[in-house]
Amino acid sequence: MNAMIRVRPLLWSLFAASCVSACAVPPARVGEALAHAPLSAAGPFHLVARFSLQLQATETTEARHFAGRLQWQHGADGDRLLFSDPLGQGVAELRRPPQGAVVVRFADGRERQAPDPEQLLAEVLGAPLPLGELSAWVQARPGTGALVEPDAQGRPRRVRESGWLLSYHYGEGANLPSRLDASLDGMLRLRLFIESWEALP
């Protein structure tokens, strides 16, 4: 993990250079009601969220904090993640097809490829986020080997899985979370504030 975190995160560099001229992201529909019908496990979805990513300092790296917006479409044809700054200007777009290399395109026209999304996310964000598991986690669908603490309505409230601690928050009567806090070994913390959900066919 440490080796992955030492990779220079490209989004930090892009924000420092103000490379946010392309891939504009429309504002999220703030206040839109979250879907109340549960999705199937790791089912197709489109979500819009604000996110915050924090990396603790190590012997070889300084502490970092990055906040922005995310549009994520997940389905049988793969994943498309669009990262933007807090004002909605696109910074990078990551595409994972069902087969083949994962590609990230930056606002300045550069592209990077990698055989798996975790490697590319480590380069883009500076953090080894498990995209495959995260697509189920954002739906409050932990894996079969996870340790799950439910809330009073039987929804996952706290989950331990693959070394991660996940904490969920829900709107009244909702089955899908409005917020996910995920932390790994106290070194990495991701917060997702989900503003809209859409289940896809």
Q: Is residue 59 part of a domain?
A: yes
User: Would you say residue 89 lies in a domain?
Assistant: yes
Q: What's the whole-number mean pLDDT along residues 41-56?
A: 87
Report d(CA 39, CA 23) in Å as an integer: 29
**Residue 25: inside a domain, yes or no?**
yes
Tell me the DSSP string of 18-37: T---SS--PPP-TTPPPP-S
Q: Convert the pLDDT of each residue in 102-113 to its tens digit.
A: 998 988 899 999
Write out pLDDT tens, residues 129-170. 898 899 999 999 999 899 999 999 999 999 999 999 999 999
Summarize the confidence of residues 2-7 as an average pLDDT: 37
Residue 161 covered by a domain: no
- pLDDT tens for 163-174 read 999 999 999 989
In-domain check, residue 190: yes
pLDDT of 33 higher than 60 = no
Q: Which of 54, 98, 92, 99 is nearest to 72 (CA)?
A: 92
Residues 6+ apart with CB under 8 A from 186: 56
Contacts of 187 (CB under 8 A, 6+ apart): 1, 5, 55, 56, 58
We report the CATH number of the domain holding residue 86 as 2.50.20
Task: Give the pLDDT confidence score for residue 42 in this predicted structure.
Answer: 61
Residue 187's pLDDT is what? 85
pLDDT exceeds cutoff 50 at 3: no
Q: What is the pLDDT of residue 21?
A: 35
In a domain, residue 94? The reply is yes
Amino acid in position 88: G
Based on its alpha-carbon atoms, the radius of gyration of the chain, rounded to whole angstroms, reads 16
